[in-house]
């Protein structure tokens, strides 16, 4: 439910009762990932999505039923071969959806309220809920933050709380959403429980070096993909708010100096659009040694060859050079700044999700890849 935290947080502040349906697990070509949610309030207003439209009507009814009877339910939806119009996924996948009420007076509401407030405020938090197991544990929740002790709990066994808190903390550190199976007493034996852990972490960073026209288009695409976008350029006449109104941050500083002092992580993407050796070489020498998700550099193939030679001269290894996406972007035949930004974004998404970048028409590869966000063996110059 944390993917719609801002809207749900407003509902909580307004005192609304609601039920929320959350994707717990998927298999096959399911349209939404675990953590995707649809919520329905007591007046019938709905927000979010669990399937892109395939089973929304049935899930809406389940939410209304949960609001009426106060009971949580775990439901599975798949494709029906007998009746193409039956409630199911036309794509052929299977999804498990957990529906729970969040009403005034419900024990779960304070924990959910705290989780929504953290996620809406872009603070790292993980919400753990038991979605299958003994009836007396269903619907209970625990909130784990990056600092401090957990909120809420399951009340069945102290070891269960400790185990789930530790596991949810590991999910949070990795920025992952998914399920885990443990015993009802917190061990790997005993009555099995399925726990859904939803992680909400601040948006990943996209740092665009070079305040050029192509950068302006890339900033817009980066924001669309939910990156926190920084533009960095050493030239104050170009790095201005007027030229980059949609950037989250504008930095006037030598690129490598800024990269040395700023915080990056395994989800950060670095896009070097300066194509000027005095900026590129010291910047890429540093960037290619950082544990970031993607580094790419703009320029012609001649520029690329010259830049590689200069990087070798300053001690960049061949292994480090293999992490560089240069020339930046996928081959879309792009010419305009907007088309080029799309090509860069497509390469970032492919790198993040494990895609090949080839056309799906005629291909026999999976549409959705089971790849989690994190540092890759190859870092490029994107969900």
**Does the pLDDT of residue 270 top 50, yes or no?**
yes
Same domain membership, residue 317 and residue 232: yes
Same domain, 231 and 332: yes
**Are the C-beta atoms of 48 and 37 separated by less than 8 Å?**
yes
Within-domain flag for 178? yes
Given this model, what pLDDT does residue 86 score? 46
Question: Which tokens is 360 given?
Answer: 């799906």
Say yes or no: 294 and 242 in one domain.
yes
pLDDT digits (tens, 9 = 90+) for 214-264: 999 999 999 999 899 999 999 999 999 999 999 999 999 999 999 999 999
* pLDDT bucket at 158, cuts 50 / 70 / 90: confident
pLDDT given for residue 98 in this prediction? 94
Q: How confident is the model at residue 84 (pLDDT cuts 50, 70, 90)?
A: very low
**Whether residue 340 sits in one domain with residue 217:** yes
Q: Which of 202, 219, 254 is the last residue of a domain?
A: 202
309 domain-assigned: yes
Residue 278 and residue 348 in one domain: yes
Q: Are residues 314 and 213 in the same domain?
A: yes
Q: Tell me the pTM.
A: 0.66
Answer whether residue 380 is part of any domain.
no
* pLDDT band at residue 175 using 50, 70 and 90 as cut-offs: confident
> In terms of Cα–Cα distance, which of 54, 25, 22, 13 is closest to 40?
22
Report pLDDT digits (tens) over 304-351: 999 999 999 999 999 999 999 999 999 999 999 999 999 999 999 999
Better pLDDT: 92 or 60: 60
User: In the listed set 82, 102, 122, which residue is the last one of a domain according to the structure?
Assistant: 102
Q: Is residue 369 assigned to a domain?
A: no
Q: What is the mean pLDDT of the chain?
A: 86
pLDDT at 376: 29
User: Based on the domain organization, do 76 and 63 belong to the same domain?
Assistant: yes
Return the pLDDT at 159: 85
Check residue 139 and give its pLDDT: 75
Shared-domain flag, residues 47 and 122: no
Task: Write down the pLDDT at residue 362.
Answer: 74
Q: Mean per-residue pLDDT for 266-270?
A: 92
pLDDT for res 379? 32
Claim to verify: residue 63 and residue 136 sit in the same structural domain: no
> Domain containing 239 — which CATH number?
3.40.50.720
How far apart, in whole angstroms, are the C-alpha atoms of residue 246 and residue 216?
8
Its domain, for residue 76, covers: 1-102
Question: Is 235 found in the same domain as 154?
Answer: no
Are residues 329 and 258 part of one domain? yes
Q: Is residue 359 part of a domain?
A: no
At residue 42, the pLDDT reads 94
Q: Total domain count for the chain? A: 3
360 assigned to some structural domain: no
Residue 373 placed within a domain: no
Between the alpha carbon of residue 176 and those of residues 47, 170, 194, 366, the distances in Å are 23, 9, 16, 21
Q: Is residue 88 pLDDT above 90, yes or no?
A: no
Q: Are 81 and 74 in contact (CB under 8 A)?
A: no
Domain finish residue from 202, 219, 242: 202
> Could you tell me if 236 and 253 are in contact, meaning their C-beta atoms sit under 8 angstroms apart?
no
Is 376 domain-assigned? no
Q: Is the domain of 263 the same as that of 155?
A: no
């Amino acid at each position: 439910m944390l993917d719609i935290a801002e809207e749900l947080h407003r509902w909580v502040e307004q005192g609304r009762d609601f039920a929320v349906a959350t994707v717990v697990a998927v298999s096959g070509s399911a349209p939404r990932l675990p953590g995707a949610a649809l919520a329905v309030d007591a007046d019938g207003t709905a927000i979010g999505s669990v399937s892109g439209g395939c089973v929304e009507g049935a899930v809406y009814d389940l939410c209304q039923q949960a609001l009426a009877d106060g009971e949580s339910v775990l439901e599975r939806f798949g494709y029906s071969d007998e009746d193409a119009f039956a409630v199911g996924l036309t794509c052929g996948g299977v999804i498990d959806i957990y529906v729970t009420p969040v009403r005034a007076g419900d024990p779960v509401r304070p924990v959910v309220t705290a989780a929504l407030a953290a996620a809406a405020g872009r603070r790292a938090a993980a919400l753990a809920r038991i979605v299958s197991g003994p009836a007396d544990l269903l619907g209970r929740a625990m909130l784990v933050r990056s600092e401090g002790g957990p909120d809420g709990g399951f009340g069945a066994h102290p070891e269960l709380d400790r185990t789930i808190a530790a596991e949810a903390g590991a999910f949070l550190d990795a920025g992952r959403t998914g399920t885990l199976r443990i015993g009802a007493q917190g061990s790997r034996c005993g009555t099995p429980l399925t726990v859904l852990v939803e992680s909400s972490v601040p948006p990943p960073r996209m740092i665009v070096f070079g305040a050029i026209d192509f950068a302006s288009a890339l900033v817009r695409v980066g924001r669309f993909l939910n990156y926190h976008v920084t533009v960095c350029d050493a030239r104050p006449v170009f790095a201005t708010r007027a030229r980059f109104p949609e950037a989250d941050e504008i930095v006037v500083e030598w690129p490598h100096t800024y990269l040395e002092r700023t915080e990056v992580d395994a989800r950060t993407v670095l896009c070097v659009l300066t194509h000027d050796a005095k900026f590129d070489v010291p910047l890429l020498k540093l960037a290619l040694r950082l544990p970031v998700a993607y580094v790419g550099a703009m320029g012609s193939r001649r520029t690329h060859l010259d830049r590689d030679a200069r990087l070798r001269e300053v001690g960049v290894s061949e292994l480090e050079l293999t992490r560089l996406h240069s020339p930046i972007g996928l081959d879309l035949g792009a010419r305009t700044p907007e088309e080029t930004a799309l090509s860069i974004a497509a390469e970032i998404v492919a790198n993040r999700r494990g895609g090949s970048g080839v056309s799906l028409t005629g291909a026999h590869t999976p549409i959705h890849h089971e790849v989690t966000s994190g540092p890759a063996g190859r870092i490029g110059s994107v969900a």
